[in-house]
Amino acid sequence: MCGIIAYIGEGNAVPVLIKGLKKLEYRGYDSAGICVVENKRLITVKRKGRIEHLEKHPGLKNINSSLGISHTRWATHGEPSEINAHPHLDCKGEIAIVHNGIIENHNSLKKLLEKEGHKIVSDTDSEVIAHLIEKFYSSSLENAVAEALKLIEGAYGLAVIQKDENKIVAARKGSPLILGIGKNEMLVASDIPAVLQYTRKVIYLNDNEIAVLTNNSYSVMKINGEKANKKIHKIKWSIEETEKKGFRHFMLKEIFEQPDSVKNLLRGRMKNNKIKLTLDMDVKKIKRIIITACGTSWHSALIGKHIIEDLTRIPVYVDYASELRYRNPVIKKGDVLIVISQSGETADTLAALKEIKSKKCKCIGIVNVVGSTIAREVDSGIYLHAGPEMGVASTKAFSSQVLALLLFALWIRQEKGYKIDDDLVRELKKIPEKINIIVKKSDRLRELAEKFKNSTNFLYLGRGINFPVALEGALKLKEISYIHAEGYPAAEMKHGPIALIDRNMPVVFLATKNNLSDKILSNMQEVKARKGRIIAVANEKNKEIEKLADYIIIVPETLNILSPILNIIPLQLLAYHIADLKGLNVDKPRNLAKSVTVE
């Protein structure tokens, strides 16, 4: 879970690499480093901590180089430190590598290399790669890389340079890597935002492919030496879209973008009450749907279960990808798998997908990042088109995922010959404007956040389709504010957690109108009776709610099936403001990285 950017061209490599690293910092940010070639010599500069820290390193001043590799790290093997930061070099200091992924057999490779006299200085799994390449190097870097990779087990996105060869060699297995094709310059990166300033033309490397880039050429081959024919993709995102647009944080920008991101999801997919999806399956044969995902995407899967079962009567099972992948699940004829992932690179989700795919099950992806590994592995899918999500805490992807699941359910209904409910379509079209109404309450939510920022615990309670919203609200708060928070089905309180309630316990209730409204009111009574402090997300300030709740956040009324998309917005804002008021780094919370590409 690290970021790689490499450059070869007519420009000066150092500023390109630093800018690229800043765009990739969301992938990891505990240490960073650069290695460039200058006068047939490798110059390496590394620092613990953020990219700004590396940027100020005196060793980077006055370097004039047109070839270099760089890396921002999120530690998996070995603590964050200068020595463990990438790039890693071979014994002679002639070959340098940056690596994203995990080398599973690094211990045995290390033993083998040490026996042969190599001196391995860091605690990382990655350093062995530089020494293996050294072992095989005679005159061609790509040949040496190919030989080295044959011995490596595990995942890698890799960029390599050698002091005498004016080229970058890149390789990929299991960790994302793209090539940026510029004019007299080429780049390699873990993600698109890092190259957008220089080019919009990208090539997605596939697993087991090796690329060789010079100033004005690129070639891609498979690890077995066969040529790989690659398509150039044109990226449509604007650079602006990957930046903060005047918001204090990416997370806040992304919360405010939701009216547009949900519009983008619907664009071209819903016309005159007709749903247009291109999914490769015969709906009449579907007997069961399994949804798998991690984290926030798993929460949207839980909502998807309610939606799909309600609208299609097809049974839906939801499973954490990390559990599903190891359970040898029963897959039968008529099963369909839905995989949900914002990044499209989450290691557990990808592994679960591969496991189920190997059992000959149809696989659909609900993915945001176009061309990501999961998007390419599934049989067909629905892209969210939510634009890049840079804040570590997922926000706009969640609302779009829920909406994508709804479209999927409606599409099944349509394919089975049922008419789509006019009320639902009418309400769906109003969702962007209703989200807009809620985000405008941001200041009011900041006032509320001020009152609760010093709480040490929070409970979030919901029922039915809004129980997963409670889970997601609690996750948002804990991951960015470090306040302990739990989501619960409201009726479960009396089976244990109610013991936690006292005057210091804030309890957020999802109390918008639905068939369970009365039940939620009684759950609120139970909390009130024990002096808990109630924050209610409701559609109106009616007398009953006013009697029970200390604070009420009003959200516009909608159909119950659509309510999670609106109800989550104030919870995202509450979490954001609490974390910001506590002075925390909202976009890069401790111990977390945006894309979890390791197990």
Q: Report how far residue 428's alpha carbon sits from residue 275's, in angstroms, rounded to the nearest whole number.
A: 12
In what order do the strands lie in the sheet containing 362-367? 316-320, 288-293, 335-341, 362-367, 380-383
Applying CB under 6 A, the span of 44-52, 342-350, 380-388, 515-523 interacting with ligand F6R comes to 342-350
By CB under 6 A, is residue 294 in contact with ligand F6R?
A: yes
Contact with ligand F6R (CB under 6 A) among 175, 199, 343, 399: 343
Q: Report how far residue 595's alpha carbon sits from residue 167's, in angstroms, rounded to the nearest whole number.
A: 28
By CB under 6 A, is residue 322 in contact with ligand F6R?
A: no
The answer to whether residue 594 is catalytic is yes
Q: Which structure tokens are listed for 27?
A: 């992938």
The answer to whether residue 305 is catalytic is no
Between 554 and 598, CB nearer to ligand F6R = 598
Rounded to the nearest 10 degrees, what angle do helices 422-439 and 396-415 cross at? Answer: 180
Applying CB under 6 A, the span of 198-206, 272-280, 343-351, 415-423 interacting with ligand F6R comes to 343-351
Between 286 and 321, CB nearer to ligand F6R = 321
CB contact set of 578 (below 8 Å; sequence gap of 6+): 449, 452, 453, 477, 481, 483
Give first-to-last CA distance, the chain, whole Å.
10
3-9 and 178-181 strand pairing:
unpaired
209-214 and 233-234 strand pairing:
unpaired
By CB under 6 A, is residue 587 in contact with ligand F6R?
A: no
Q: Report how far residue 506's alpha carbon sits from residue 501's, in angstroms, rounded to the nearest whole number.
A: 8
Q: Least Å distance between CB 294 and ligand F6R?
A: 4
Q: Report how far residue 56's alpha carbon sits from residue 60's, in angstroms, rounded to the nearest whole number.
A: 8
Between 87 and 295, CB nearer to ligand F6R = 295
Contact with ligand F6R (CB under 6 A) among 65, 312, 342, 400: 342
Q: Which structure tokens are listed for 554?
A: 């009003």
By CB under 6 A, is residue 481 in contact with ligand F6R?
A: no
Between 258 and 595, CB nearer to ligand F6R = 595
Contact with ligand F6R (CB under 6 A) among 295, 365, 468, 570: 295
Contact with ligand F6R (CB under 6 A) among 44, 199, 292, 296: 296
Q: Is 91 strand, coil or helix? A: coil
Alpha-carbon dihedral angle through residues 212, 213, 216, 219, given to the nearest 10 degrees: 30
Contact with ligand F6R (CB under 6 A) among 346, 400, 466, 567: 346
Q: Which structure tokens are listed for 541?
A: 């300030």
Between 297 and 512, CB nearer to ligand F6R = 297
Applying CB under 6 A, the span of 222-230, 335-343, 515-523, 535-543 interacting with ligand F6R comes to 335-343
Between 100 and 595, CB nearer to ligand F6R = 595
Is the Cβ–Cβ distance between 277 and 403 less than 8 Å?
Answer: no
Q: Least Å distance between CB 290 and ligand F6R?
A: 16
By CB under 6 A, is residue 97 in contact with ligand F6R?
A: no
By CB under 6 A, is residue 538 in contact with ligand F6R?
A: no
Q: Report how far residue 398's alpha carbon sits from residue 254's, in angstroms, rounded to the nearest whole number.
A: 11
Per-residue DSSP letter, 323: H
Per-residue DSSP letter, 285: G
Between 314 and 592, CB nearer to ligand F6R = 592
Between 390 and 393, CB nearer to ligand F6R = 393
Query: What are the C-alpha distances in Å from 267 to residues 80, 358, 447?
Result: 44, 33, 35
Q: Which structure tokens are listed for 398?
A: 């969640």
By CB under 6 A, is residue 386 in contact with ligand F6R?
A: no
By CB under 6 A, is residue 304 in contact with ligand F6R?
A: no
By CB under 6 A, is residue 373 in contact with ligand F6R?
A: no
Q: Which structure tokens are listed for 155?
A: 């995942």
By CB under 6 A, is residue 175 in contact with ligand F6R?
A: no
Q: Is 520 strand, coil or helix? A: helix
Amino acid type, 251: M
By CB under 6 A, is residue 514 in contact with ligand F6R?
A: no
Q: Which structure tokens are listed for 239?
A: 């650079």
Q: Least Å distance between CB 560 and ligand F6R?
A: 24
Is the Cβ–Cβ distance between 45 and 34 less than 8 Å?
Answer: yes
Q: Report how far residue 503's alpha carbon sits from residue 512's, in angstroms, rounded to the nearest whole number.
A: 24
Contact with ligand F6R (CB under 6 A) among 142, 165, 479, 580: 479
Name the residue number minimizing CB distance to ligand F6R: 295
Q: Least Å distance between CB 509 and ligand F6R?
A: 22
Residue in 2, 35, 294, 361 annotated catalytic: 2
Q: Least Å distance between CB 367 and ligand F6R?
A: 8
Applying CB under 6 A, the span of 203-211, 294-302, 410-418, 459-467 interacting with ligand F6R comes to 294-302
Question: Annotated active-site positions, please?
Answer: 2, 594
Task: Give the footprint of ligand F6R on this chain (CB under 6 A).
Answer: 294-297, 341-343, 346, 349, 393-394, 475, 479, 595-596
